[in-house]
Chains A and B, each alone.
Chain A
Amino acid sequence: MEDFACLLEALVYTRSRNEKLRLIAEYLRGTPDPDRGWALGALTNGLNFKAVKSSTVRNLMQDRVDPVLWKLSRDFVGDTAETVSLLWPEPIGDVAPPPSVSEAVETLAKMTRATAPVDLPKLLDRLDPSGRYALIKLATGGMRIGVSSRLAKVAFAQAFDVSVDDVEEYWHALEPPYAELFAWAADGADPPDTKNVPLFRPFMLAHPLEELRVDLKDYAAEWKWDGIRVQLVHVAGETRVYSRSGDDISATFPELVGALDRPAVLDGELLVRGDAQGGAEGGAASFNALQQRLGRKTVSKKMLAESPAFVRLYDVLSWDGEDQRALEWQRRRGQLESAVPKLPGNHFDLSQLVEARDFEHLAEIREGTRDAAIEGLMLKRRDSLYVPGRKTGLWYKWKRDPLLIDCVLMYAQRGSGKRSSFYSDYTFGCWDGDPDAGAELLPVGKAYSGFTDAELKKLDRLVRQTTLNRFGPVREVERTLVFEVAFDSVHTSKRHKSGLAMRFPRIHRIRWDKPVHEADRIGTLRKMIRD
């Protein structure tokens, strides 16, 4: 555990990506199995201990620290694991030496809700503050040390000089401590056998187009739909639905599992049908309708009937057992067009290409679209192979311009992690009538991105100087500042007093210059509802 704690400590304080890769690779090479496999699982958020959650750890502190002092400390630090590691009382008397990573993992895995409050403290007692931090991070996930799971996989590939694409490919067939993966990469054993496993293939992703212009002779244009990107895999009689991050979401969409019954790997956008949320008859309903179905472990018959899911197909990665990824997009598209008629039409259709004379014409078409289910355009190089991740020059996304509205800052909350001392999460509102005739502000959304570090410092200062009230980590501020807020769409919602909910709001500009009574009214926002 000390080596793993040292690794985390070094990663926390390292800025350079290359240095992070070097540190992780060095650890993976120098640490025995299965410790390194568990560590890799922790770095990629792949460990899950049923009986040990953030709340378990919080509850332990209740018996050890005054609740008020705990709350003040947690609020100051902005991270539960770190707060516990710093506040944990040093044990009295002799304790056993620190556990190895594997011993810690085995002990954590055996814990139940009843035993965790007794067994977890015993582990914590055996560690110093940095070991306690590492243990809690390992047990509860959410490292927040500036290492993505992608970075950890790249480090693994570098450590053993294997291809990161291969690592991604095998990844989802394996589980921590990844014994087969280390045997293959470190000891030269055969690669993991994945032939009859419904494996997730890493998605091909796109860069934003921004100011770039492309020639439509080289690039095909296609609508970008506002659903969730999914991959359907069928092999050896089993079908899985994977989300963009590779999570298995088959249970949430049982109708799709039943709809694919031949060997294939398909890439598309999951949408729901229905007119309840404004989708035209038989067409796609808005993201808001889809959202009602996300994150459910079981699905009611009523829901299946009212909002059935279907997949609008973009690409084919494998068909009848043949891998298509090494073919050019143009040929895969041909394969896809001939495959779609063989699939049940109520659950699959084809994402149509957008025909345009030239780029300017395409820009006009993009401007002119009003369909709520369209998020923008995709531009795909006609000769692009299906490669994982974002490769420059192959695929571009060209989103519709965001909607904009002027709102007034009302509340601010301290951020977490890197922003733990800064008031970085902002709740803002619009007027419910004429502000010069006594109208009030109603909160319409919350944003915590879209500003620079320098702007954050300035905002933080403003919040501290104009605080009216404190509610724990939240401060109510004087109404002095206007944000121009960008968002993708707005929907009716019962959750908020304003009756509206924005999708992906972010700060577009800070209008230091604009008087608050010139901010927008709720009615203006309501008119922007597209569904």
Chain B
Amino acid sequence: MNALAARRRHPAAIALLLMLALVVTGGLYAAFAPKPAAAAAVTADQVEQGKALFQSNCASCHGLNAEGNETEVGDLKAFGPSLVGSGAAAVHFQMETGRMPLASAGVQAPRVNKVKFEETEIEAIAAYVASLGPGPARPDEEWLDWEGQGDAGRGGTIYRSNCAMCHSSAAVGGALTRGKYAPTLAGVEEVHIYEAMLTGPQNMPVFNDMNLTPEDKRDVIAYVKQMQETGNPGGLGLGGYGPASEGMFAWIFGLGIMIGAAVWLGQKGA
């Protein structure tokens, strides 16, 4: 202790302390920083196959090496973002919901029910994109098990303060600016809901694991799924648009049948 105290003003001491602080900070960061989930066993073959598929199907917009591409012809601007760091989850979400490859230029890529690729092909492209740089990987099964482990009540609270302002409290979607929109969540698979939160496709913000933990995401999925399972206990749901469709219904059908009844009764003399 004395020896250490005697050398505390040694010129090297400050450098040593600095080194120590850096090691500690770095070590703590490495220990606690969110890690991209390890990609499922990916073979070199898969990456090769994915690259080939990518170059023939995606490269026209995203560039031959997924570095992104912007072309301008007159007023038309085509923009394919760089996919370095997008991760397997983004590829999986975009392609499995039919959004990519983009069918036509528009304000945003719509969900298309007819998926254009086989599952194995999508896996391969995802593996290729994941190999370009670290990015969010596909979620573990554990985080999708909303039926077994999800807490819908908690998920609803998270949903209302984070999701409802765009997707609406009934999860039927809503309008954004300039023709863009938040799509409905009806019929969306749990894995895609999870991946959408994780990667923030199109206009959606990213809800990474620091914002919403995997448990939070699972609870949100549980809420959305539970709500959809309940359906409409009151009868026809009128699209879930609330007073908008109710008002129209009252004016068109409600008033229509009331006037019909009045005319019918008015014709009945004594």
Partners in one complex: no
